[in-house]
Amino acid sequence: MHDTILAAREQRAKTIELWLHQGHELVLSIRANMPTELRESHEAYLVVRFFESLIKKRYTISDTIRFDSSDGPYTLFSLSLLNAKQFKRDLIQLEESIPLGRLIDLDLWQTPDQLWTRSSLGIPPRKCYLCDQPAHQCVRSRKHDVKDIITFIKRIVKQHLDDEIKEIAEHAVIKELNLDHKFGLVTPTSMGSHHDMDYQLMLDSHPLIMPYFVKLFELGYTHDELYLLLDLARPIGIKTEKEMLKHTEGINTYKGLIFILGLVTLSLGYTLKHKQDFNHIFQNIHHLSQNILSDFEKKPKTFGEKAYHEHQILGARGEAYLGLPSVHHALNLIGDQPLTDELMRVVLQQLIRSTDDTVLLKRSGSFENYMMIKKRVASIDATHLDEVKDFTTYAIENHLSFGGAADLLIATIFLYEIKHRYF
């Protein structure tokens, strides 16, 4: 084990040296600052990926390469046209500005023999995880039990992830809600085709549902049995729905989102914990939803069950069973483009076209009208705001609801941000 770790460190040093000889002006190494026991853990991967995303947002990266090694994951960035001394100061400030920064090493090389360090800038050394002494002194003296250090690291990463899930979920819900002119959905300036809900009511529902998404993320993050997750999540979802309906006096503001984004956060927790790639989020949703269509085998009672028996429309349950293919497709459509209002309208139009919505079917009055409406949506050029406005007027006049597509748009925005921060 020790020999393989030393070999991995030597290989990293050789790669950095090679990059510098090849003309890269500055090489930044991003790696986890953790005990050997955690170097290849999911916590190490999460921390490295998160700091990759922070640095990419702040600086122009010329080249990137990721490595998996016995010494843990690390990433090399090549940068140019920067004041190396000031850049290192900025990196140190970044390490110290957030709790997770204590778990990362951002090493900056200008030549094979010039590593910019805290001491070279006259900055005091880092302090220990668990006390105020210089970290290198505690490491050398083995002052702290490694189990206490591991517990500290796991706790700080877990708290970071909980905060991130809440923040990104709130961002996604607000971004969709604030999008104006969107096919008859509620906006800051319109109730859309809904007579019983408005912008403020939707906004007031957010504090009730956000803790739920964090709970489901934690559930996926702490359990290893994927096929048990949905059964464990269901009572939490039912309780959240009841609290929402009680607060809104029976008005369904986000029942569909509780289901869709709940599945996403549940799967995401499992995916991150097991160091799986981004596409496993969708695969895991499919696997944990394997029994979700069982209700369709019974005598139909609800409108959704009748829609399946009469028209083979699976609705949200079918989307979940297939692993949210519409969201996966939407993310491929977006790629690395910034999420502008225009692009979100294009994505929303695609989601309406490609998914079956039992609420829309009910409001359409007949299956024939339902198909006609979907064709009409498909004929719109969503990049032309006037066409979107015209259809919005039509949707309001005919009381059409595309809330299911709105829920999927929120899931798309959420996963767009997650992908850019952690994968």
Instruction: For residue 348, give Cα distances in angstroms to 25, 388, 407, 414.
Output: 43, 11, 10, 14
pLDDT in single tens digits along all 423 residues of the chain: 578 989 999 999 999 999 999 989 999 999 999 999 999 999 999 999 999 999 999 999 999 999 999 999 999 999 987 799 999 999 999 999 999 999 999 999 998 888 999 988 999 888 888 888 888 888 888 889 999 999 999 999 999 999 999 999 999 999 999 999 999 999 999 999 988 999 999 999 999 999 999 999 999 999 999 999 999 999 999 999 999 999 999 999 999 999 999 999 999 999 999 999 999 999 999 999 999 988 777 787 778 778 778 888 888 899 999 999 999 999 999 999 999 999 999 999 999 999 998 889 888 989 999 999 999 999 999 999 999 999 999 999 999 989 999 999 999 999 999 999 999
Cβ distance 32 to 39 under 8 Å? Answer: yes
Dihedral over alpha carbons 165, 170, 171, 172 (to 10 degrees): 90
Q: What tokens were used for 317? A: 């349950």
Dihedral over alpha carbons 176, 178, 180, 184 (to 10 degrees): 60
pLDDT at 390: 95
Superfamily of domain 165-422: Triphosphoribosyl-dephospho-CoA protein (1.10.4200.10)
Cβ distance 401 to 360 under 8 Å? Answer: yes
In degrees, to the nearest 5, what angle opens at C-alpha 164 toward C-alphas 257 and 240?
35
CA R_g for the chain:
25
Contacts of 96 (CB under 8 A, 6+ apart): none
Domain with CATH 1.10.4200.10 in the chain: 165-422
**Pairing, β 26-32 against β 74-79:** antiparallel
